[in-house]
Structure 1
Amino acid sequence: MGRLLAWVLAQRGHVVDLYDAGGPAAEQSAATVAAAMLAPLAESAITEPGVVRMGQYALQRWPELIADLPEDVFFQQQGTLIVWHRQDAPEAQRLRARLGRTVQQIPELPPADDLDARALAAVEPALSGRFAQGLLLPQEGQLDNRQLLKALASAIDRAGVRCHWNTPRSPADIPARSDGGPSLLLDCRGLGARSDWQMLRGVRGEVVRIHAPDVQLQRPTRLVHPRYPIYIAPKQNGVFVIGATEIESEDRSPVSVRSTLELLSAAYAVHPGFAEARVIEAATQCRPTLPDNLPAIRIPRPGVLEVNGLYRHGFMIAPAMLDCVLQWLECGHSTLARRFDLNIETPASHALA
């Protein structure tokens, strides 16, 4: 969020300073570990309609943003495939029903397509003969998060943003406007803003990156499972990001043996070609999460705007959050925020409450 806002505001002629606790590679950010899937219907199984609408909005907005970046960023929109083994058919049926209710509630979402074994093989030949049924969620997509972060770092440098890498700051460290400070302070620190957000917590995620050039999955694939429903996101050059875990913990120690075994075993159960893959990286990070698991924008005092709580949906909702902030800065209100059921908190709203 910080890089997106810095870039767009600099493009609009503002003088921007960016302070980041990490470096250009964003090595301390949850965004570096994420799979960066853009799957509003798939995610509707665990989130609210407003977030789903943000995700649908992002599928149109991301290509516009990426087109203006100085470096290529992998973006794909070939849908999400959901598969399951026979013993997990009841769980899959419950998921299908939830997705159907979402489409009824948000008609602009394309409905899931039911696939039998023949149709599934036609859609994803690499899985031919492995699953009797599946679901295809049309138009969903993904991007390469690390390419995007690198491209944004180049873009903000070219736009004249003064970048202060490896320089952690809090709002208290920045002089007020009356003392020569900035006219606007945008706080996008995630978990770094814990002292300013009551009940902000970290939710641990674990992912494995592997190189499997012999596996030819064409789109993000999710495996229904009652305990660990995994996702497999194919990136470029035979790289796959595999994840599933969502642990209520702020522990950032290395990936556990149990999680590694579950992730890799489930991937192998989807395609046996993963047996010969090479593990590139096993990584953990903590997602900044508010009590309701929803994103928030608030203005605690004049000249300060805070964005937080993007949870597990960061890349999926970032363009919507970006445009809500920009609209608020330009107009003093945001019709987009109302469309996404996003309440922008202001001192006046607290007074009314």
Structure 2
Amino acid sequence: MSLSPSSFAILGAGLMGRLLAVELARQGHRVEIYDAGSPQAEQSAATVAAAMLAPLAESAITEPGVVRMGHYALPRWQQLIASLTEPVFFQQAGTLIVWHRQDAAEAQRFTRVLEANQQTTPELPPLQKLDSAALAQAEPTLAERFNHGLYLPGEGQLDNRQLLASLLAEMTRLGVQMHWNAPRTPEAFAPGTPGQPDWVLDCRGLGARQDWKDLRGVRGEVVRLYAPDVTLQRPTRLVHPRYPIYLAPKQDHLFVIGATEIESDDLSPASVRSTLELLSAAYAVHPGFAEARILEIRTQCRPTLPDNLPAIRQPQPRVLEVNGMYRHGFMISPAMLDVTLEILNTGQSQLSKRFDLRLELLGQPAPAVQAASALA
């Protein structure tokens, strides 16, 4: 069964809101989108994210269902990006993990966690242990600084800001009506009544805290650098017991570096301490970062539910709420998109069972409460 031509009001023009607007408009529906900010999505967590697509690497801090969502999303991202008229940088060259000699014990623990998770999700390509020769072949610029590493094949990344801009251009091309600096809540609509949209889709993230009483912000801090002397070919993670960082190389020697995850919805500027830790760790990975130029230091909070897992719920007829993407927004959003479309088309979702995704839909049994993710 497919959804007959309908009208949609989408609240929030971050990553999920834009993906849904584009897909629904392509299906012939009339779509209006409302956002508290501007077309540049400066208030969205998606603007600050590194946009790494790393299901096995992230398995160390999340549940198998989210890992399966990430694995599902990798080929789906290729399809979604290929359908856009403006180019978006996408790379699927795997993830490299390295560590200094003094952190070998932490690296062994981390390796054991990934190997165990690999057994739980066997569809993921197995990790590869690299000695100095294999590391030199995989990433020559790191050969003199690290003797061992891990390579996680198939993992990827994309350019988050290019994607948001391309989705904006696609919404314009498809005739989506966009309302900027125009925050709305579901209570502003009476879906299904004359003069009102048929459906309301709430994708406001932390903007929906009034409706999701247990929603919280998890703060992240990110540095964007221009480093012409650094030639890392793929996202690289540094194992460290206190601040494990990631370095995500984008186009034209642009690097996104981050690590911090703080239980706070504080959006004040980054601290000196955390900035020094990020930059020092980046320099420890590659000395070329010493001459890099700091383009931006940004903070943002990710919308997170108590179990650190995403959810879709239907508080009333013709209203769907999508939230709780935590730090996995780009990794899992294609899966969340397809589950939402499936619900709209059929009233339920078989795909969600594959991901152990929590659904709260009218007329269906309430889901069992999922245990919080055990941080390995």
* TM tier, smaller: over 0.9
Cross-structure match for 1:32: 47
Matched, 1:44 2:71: no
Map of 1:244-259 to 2, 5 A cutoff? 244-259=259-274
Runs of 4+ in 1 over 3 A off after TM superposition: 349-353
CA shift for structure 1 position 220 = 0.2
Match among 296, 314, 318 for residue 299 of structure 1: 314
Matched, 1:102 2:117: yes
Cross-structure match for 1:57: 72
Partners of 1:332 and 1:310 in 2: CA distance = 22
Asked whether the 8 Å contact 2:360–2:366 carries over to 1, the reply is no
Which structure is higher in helix share? 1
Cross-structure match for 2:226: 211
Matched, 1:335 2:346: no
Matched, 1:11 2:26: yes
Partners of 1:237 and 1:351 in 2: CA distance = 49
Partners of 2:188 and 2:351 in 1: CA distance = 32
Partners of 2:192 and 2:21 in 1: CA distance = 19
Report Cα offsets for 1:294-348 as digits up to 9, x if no partner.
0000111110000000000000000000000111111111111000001210233
Q: Which runs of 5+ in 2 are unaligned?
A: 1-15, 369-376
CA shift for structure 1 position 284 = 0.2
CA shift for structure 1 position 179 = 4.6
Pick which of 48-57 and 20-29 moved more: 20-29
SS of corresponding position for 1:322: helix
Change (3 A) 1:351 1:80: closer
Change (3 A) 1:352 1:134: closer
Partners of 2:122 and 2:269 in 1: CA distance = 42
CA shift for structure 1 position 351 = 6.6
Match among 335, 341, 364 for residue 326 of structure 1: 341
Pick which of 10-19 and 330-339 moved more: 330-339
Report Cα offsets for 1:125-144 as digits up to 9, x if no partner.
11111101000000000000
Cross-structure match for 1:270: 285
Q: Which runs of 5+ in 1 are unaligned?
A: none
Map of 1:180-199 to 2, 5 A cutoff? 180-199=195-214
RMSD of equivalent CA atoms: 1.1
CA shift for structure 1 position 352 = 8.8
Partners of 2:109 and 2:340 in 1: CA distance = 36
Cross-structure match for 1:171: 186
Report Cα offsets for 1:181-232 as digits up to 9, x if no partner.
1110000000000011021000000000000011000000000000100000
How many residue pairs get matched?
A: 353
SS of corresponding position for 1:178: coil
Cross-structure match for 1:151: 166
Cross-structure match for 1:201: 216
TM-score, normalised to structure 2, is 0.92
Cross-structure match for 2:361: 346
Pick which of 37-46 and 323-332 moved more: 323-332
Partners of 1:207 and 1:242 in 2: CA distance = 6
CA shift for structure 1 position 178 = 2.1
SS of corresponding position for 2:24: helix
Cross-structure match for 2:298: 283
Partners of 2:103 and 2:178 in 1: CA distance = 50
Letter in 2 for 1:81: L
TM-score, normalised to structure 1, is 0.98
Asked whether the 8 Å contact 2:310–2:358 carries over to 1, the reply is no
SS of corresponding position for 1:204: strand
CA shift for structure 1 position 180 = 2.3
Pick which of 179-188 and 199-208 moved more: 179-188
Matched, 1:71 2:86: yes
Match among 82, 88, 112 for residue 127 of structure 2: 112
CA shift for structure 1 position 263 = 0.1
Identical columns (%): 70
Match among 88, 93, 118 for residue 103 of structure 2: 88
Asked whether the 8 Å contact 2:360–2:367 carries over to 1, the reply is no
Asked whether the 8 Å contact 2:359–2:367 carries over to 1, the reply is no
